[in-house]
Amino acid sequence: MSEHSIFFEVYPMSLNRQGEELCGDQAKVLRTQEKTMVVLSDGLGSGVKANILARLTTEIILTMLREATPIEDVVETVVGTLPVCKTRHVAYSTFIIAEIYHQTHRFKLTNFDSPQAFYIAGGRLTPLEFSTRMVHDRMLRISEGVLSHGDFLGLASDGVLHAGVGKIMNSEWGWDQIGSYIQKTLMLQASSARAVVDMVIQKTRGLYGGDIGDDATLVGVLAHKPSPLIVFTGPPSDKSLDDKCAHRVLEFQGRKVVCGGTTSEIVARMVGETVETDVSTAREDIPPIGSLTGVDLITEGVLTIAKALKLIEECAGNVYLLPLDRNGAALLARELLKATNILFLVGESNNPYYQNPLLPRNITIRHNLIDLVAAALHGLQKEVVIEWC
């Protein structure tokens, strides 16, 4: 797991044009060891055609970036590929690319006919200077800057800026006003990119007055302190690794969770204690939690992890929508959603209750369940690493 002094939380949210099932904007995120990359594309028009154009644009860009293609070559390929509408004389898809470097915290924006990004630095809206470059007779705007703790970068499609155009309620809505609104919202919701983006998109919805005239998307990037978490579940395949895994958990710099009865006993032996069970947290289908010095949460294994995954899916990754009930699944889901960087330390010892000994290890219930949880967390832009032991 990478160790960065800043975690760049990314959260996109969109509104579909009224009457359309598909959004003509597409936002995608790609994280590597070196940098976080965000692409927002706006397809011409709305509906299926716009969705396909925007999706193709983002996929081409991220595929090339994933292969470490220089950004200049990526842009030249995409701009040279996009056709131009003969009627409107504009490209069939616009885009903006943000590259954020983990070590230096610097970012670079490459903008092709998209609205100017919103940059909140030190709590203040700061317009970005830009240089221009011509590619296939089309102008690109390139900006650079640095994201420090608490800074915010917002990428928006036209639909956000044009919310409610022509309506009286929108007489004071434009780039400056949106930037000021983000700035004020950030002061109240500084701990979450999701909260900031949600507030802006709901404001946008209100300005359209129930008749959304264009696809509207905002992608928020919030720079904040990482919240690392380790989840140790399942005894190792080789008992000689028990102490090593227990040490990994206890020495981890961050929140610590242990899932599973046998797994918690491994850590308990290292601590020299016995796991204390809190029977008040037992529910009909969720075993009780335990407590142990140096560990933030101890739960049962597979059943509780599966319930936690269900809760994460039901609340769509919004920690504030989790049940307030104090049970193992809800507490585990909360730990996973509040973390930014998650390390799963997963033992592969065969459990007769969860494993047919004739089947390969990689199709155990625990193995598949952790893969599903990791995929769900990846989808929420968490940095996730799985180590099998």
Question: Per residue in 72-128, pLDDT tens?
Answer: 888 888 877 766 655 655 557 889 999 999 999 999 999 988 999 999 999 999 999
- State what percent of residues in the chain have pLDDT above 90: 67
Tell me the β-bridge partners of 385. Answer: 343
pLDDT tier at 249, thresholds 50, 70, 90: very high
Contact, 233 vs 347, CB < 8 A? yes
Give the helix ranges, DSSP H, for 169-295. Answer: 175-188, 193-208, 242-250, 261-271
Q: What is the strand order of the sheet 131-135 is part of?
A: 25-31, 35-43, 93-101, 106-112, 138-146, 131-135
The predicted pLDDT at position 72 comes to: 81
Helix (H) or strand (E) holding 334: helix 328-338
Contact, 147 vs 139, CB < 8 A? no
pLDDT tier at 363, thresholds 50, 70, 90: very low
Say what angle helices 261-271 and 242-250 make with each other, to 10 degrees: 80
15, 17, 20, 23: CA torsion to nearest 10? -50
**Total-model pTM:** 0.84
Question: What is the Cα–Cα distance from 339 to 255, expressed in whole angstroms?
Answer: 8
Pairing of strands 289-292, 93-101: unpaired
b or e along 85-123 (b: 16 or more beta carbons within 10 Å of the residue's beta carbon)? eeeeeebbbbbbbbbbebeebebbbbbbbbbbbbbbbee
The predicted pLDDT at position 140 comes to: 87
Pairing of strands 255-259, 228-233: parallel
Contact, 341 vs 2, CB < 8 A? yes
Question: What is the Cα–Cα distance from 242 to 188, expressed in whole angstroms?
Answer: 45
Q: Which domains does the chain possess?
A: 7-224 (3.60.40.10), 228-388 (no CATH)
Question: Per residue in 262-309, pLDDT tens?
Answer: 999 999 999 999 999 999 999 999 999 999 999 999 999 999 999 999
Helix (H) or strand (E) holding 100: strand 93-101
pLDDT tier at 202, thresholds 50, 70, 90: very high
The whole-number average pLDDT for the span 158-166 is 81
Taking 60 as the threshold, does the pLDDT of residue 359 lie above it? Answer: no
